[in-house]
Amino acid sequence: MSRTLVKDALHATAPMDSILLQGWVRTRRDAKAFSFIELNDGSSLKGIQVIADAGLPDYAHIAKANTGASLEVRGRLVESKGTGQRWEVVAEKFTVIGEADATYPLQKKGHTLEFLREIAHLRPRSNLFGAVFRVRSRLAYAIHQFFQNRGFHYVHTPIITASDCEGAGELFRVSTLDPVNPPKTEQGAIDYTKDFFGKQAYLTVSGQLEAEIFATALSNVYTFGPTFRAENSNTSRHASEFWMIEPEIAFCDLQGNMDLAEEFVKYLIRDAKEHCAGDLEFFSKFVDKDLLARLDFVLERPFQRCSYTEAVEILTASGRKWEHPVAWGDNLQSEHERFLAEEHFKCPVTVYNYPRTLKPFYMRVNDDGKTVTAMDLLVPGIGEIIGGSQREERLDVLQENMRAHHLPEKEYWWYLDLRRYGTVPHSGFGLGFERMLMFVTGVANIRDVIPFARTPGTAEF
């Protein structure tokens, strides 16, 4: 007999004379003539109730079926007489596969998120984290569906790279040199020509530059992979290792880029609502009461768009006392971004055309000479979830930008070649997968939407 997943048992349309279930005991309650076990196998938020009659030959083993133990149950799927569930299983044979004693940490509900982070190897067995990681899995699939259905090709960009795409210097070095006694140049500096790759190498901060190569060949491409940033920001929205989705589209300008970003975000929300309804209900009950209403609100309206210059005017006119006062030319801080999305526009807003000096070398310079075609999508509760731009396709302007950013042309020879041979206007963006998950689940800390969080000072598991 093959195993039935709890999810499928719960959705059965008729009773079943024989069923095999395997999972973990969430709770057990012993009455005089029966025991009731709630069995969960992670296929759904809900477990199934198993009834074990005290007359069963195995019944003596019931005491081993404690919370956390793994269990195999054979029996009958019958209509439940109790309330709250349609089906339950009457056990005919049960086997405790792996016991769990009273030290099992997930005995009772009501653990703090901080405590659960310390037991990241067990937290997927809790209701909250089971739900988070089912949504994560589903949305990873939906991302591929979204792009594949629109004729985009999936590109695997390298994880080890020699270039700093974002130019922010937040790179993790990849090296096999002896840290105690590294080879030195005559000037006394570390000699990276002796390192594994013959030059300095890092973990990628973005697959964009390589995605641009493929966009100028396959037209529409996307990447979806791990991304690393050694930024020492201990916030609820920054991780040192996170996943990013980066589409890159040839023959596309900033408008088309903003349209795609909006369509993409809405698609993912709709997909989660359709395929993870039970999990989203759980979040709206226990994590964020406004979640479902907010997601509907976001789906129903077009996102707002506003230029950086307008954004600064709005912030200045607000009469707020900012922790970081803002004037034209300053970076928007989290407090500004959240004000725009949460209080001013009260919905997702794309801010575009940022000052040239604030943004990386690859963004297209506008005719005003002062701004570049950057775009950041800001959402209520989180702030930036997408950063993107139209790329500079003009060789001479790009070279000038690189000089302004002190980037040596010889290291970007291949990137410049894309402008030498068949250059086209093209655009793209990066969506932080964890930030999107925070938005869809209402979970407030990035550490709780990634299986094993890497943040400054933490790389356990």
* Binding site residues, Mg ion, CB under 5 A: 387
**Which of 136, 138, 356, 435 is in the footprint of ligand 4AD by CB under 6 A?**
435
Q: Between residues 23 and 387, which has the closer beta carbon with respect to Mg ion?
A: 387
Enumerate the β-bridge partners of residue 37.
28, 50
Give Cα 361 distance to the centre of its chain. 26
Q: Are 446 and 242 in contact (CB under 8 A)?
A: yes
User: Residue 448 binds which one of ligand 4AD, Mg ion, none, with CB within 5 to 8 A depending on kind?
Assistant: none
Among Mg ion, ligand 4AD, none, residue 350 binds (CB under 5-8 Å by kind)? none
Give yes or no for a contact between 224 and 408, defined as CB atoms under 8 angstroms apart. no
Q: Mark 136-175 with x for binding to ligand 4AD (rule: CB under 6 A) and - for no binding.
A: -----------------------------xx---------
75 touching ligand 4AD, by CB under 6 A: no
Question: Minimum distance from CB of 90 to Mg ion (Å)?
Answer: 56
Q: Residue 60 has what DSSP assignment?
A: G
Output the smallest distance, CB 312 to Mg ion, in A. Answer: 17
Q: Which does 41 bind (CB under 5 to 8 A by kind): ligand 4AD, Mg ion, none?
A: none
If contact means CB under 5 to 8 A according to the sort of partner, which of ligand 4AD, Mg ion, none does residue 430 touch? ligand 4AD
What contacts 24+ positions apart, CB below 8 Å, involve 402-408?
Answer: 402/361, 404/361, 405/167, 405/360, 405/361, 407/167, 407/361
* In the complex, least distance from residue 151 CB atom to ligand 4AD, rounded to whole angstroms: 19
Cβ proximity of 16 and 39 under 8 Å: no
- Does the protein bind ligand 4AD through residue 338 (CB under 6 A)? no
Chain positions 252 to 311 lying near ligand 4AD, rule: CB under 6 A, are none
Residue closer to ligand 4AD (CB basis): 50 or 386: 386
Handedness of CA 235, 239, 243, 247 (dihedral sign): positive
| Cα(16)–Cα(207) distance, integer angstroms | 51
The residue from 195, 393, 434, 448 that contacts ligand 4AD (CB under 6 A) is 434
When the beta carbons of 4 and 371 are compared against Mg ion, the nearer one is: 371
Q: Which of residues 371-390 bind ligand 4AD (CB under 6 A)?
A: 384-389
| Cβ count near 321 (within 10 Å) | 6
In angstroms, rounded to a whole number, what is the distance separating the alpha carbons of residues 243 and 431?
A: 9
Told to check if 208 binds ligand 4AD by CB under 6 A, we report: yes
Residues 6+ apart with CB under 8 A from 180: none
Q: Which of 71, 239, 265, 315 binds ligand 4AD (CB under 6 A)?
A: 239
Interaction partner, residue 260 (Mg ion, ligand 4AD, none; CB < 5-8 Å by kind): none
Contact with ligand 4AD (CB under 6 A) among 24, 242, 308, 345: 242
| By the rule CB under 6 A, 425 interacts with ligand 4AD | no
When asked if residue 28 is in the footprint of ligand 4AD (CB under 6 A), the reply is no
CB 110: neighbour CB atoms within 10 A? 5
Q: In terms of CB distance, is 134 or 229 closer to ligand 4AD? A: 229
253-276 burial, b at 16+ Cβ within 10 Å, e below that, comes to ebeebbebbbebbbbbbebbeebb
In terms of DSSP bridges, do strands 153-154 and 220-228 run parallel, antiparallel, or are they unpaired?
A: parallel
C-alpha to C-alpha distance for 360 and 100, rounded to whole angstroms: 53
Q: Which stretch binds ligand 4AD (CB under 6 A): 85-93, 117-125, 258-266, 429-437?
A: 429-437
Tokens representing 447 are 């550490």
Q: How far is the CB of 219 from Mg ion (least distance, A)?
A: 25
Residue pair 203/228 in contact by the 8 Å Cβ criterion = yes
> Would you state the structure tokens that stand for residue 217, as one six-digit string?
């060949």
Stretch that binds ligand 4AD, among 68-76, 236-244, 324-332, 345-353 (CB under 6 A): 236-244
Binding site for ligand 4AD (CB under 6 A): 165-166, 206, 208, 229, 231, 238-239, 242, 244, 246, 384-389, 428-430, 432, 434-435, 446
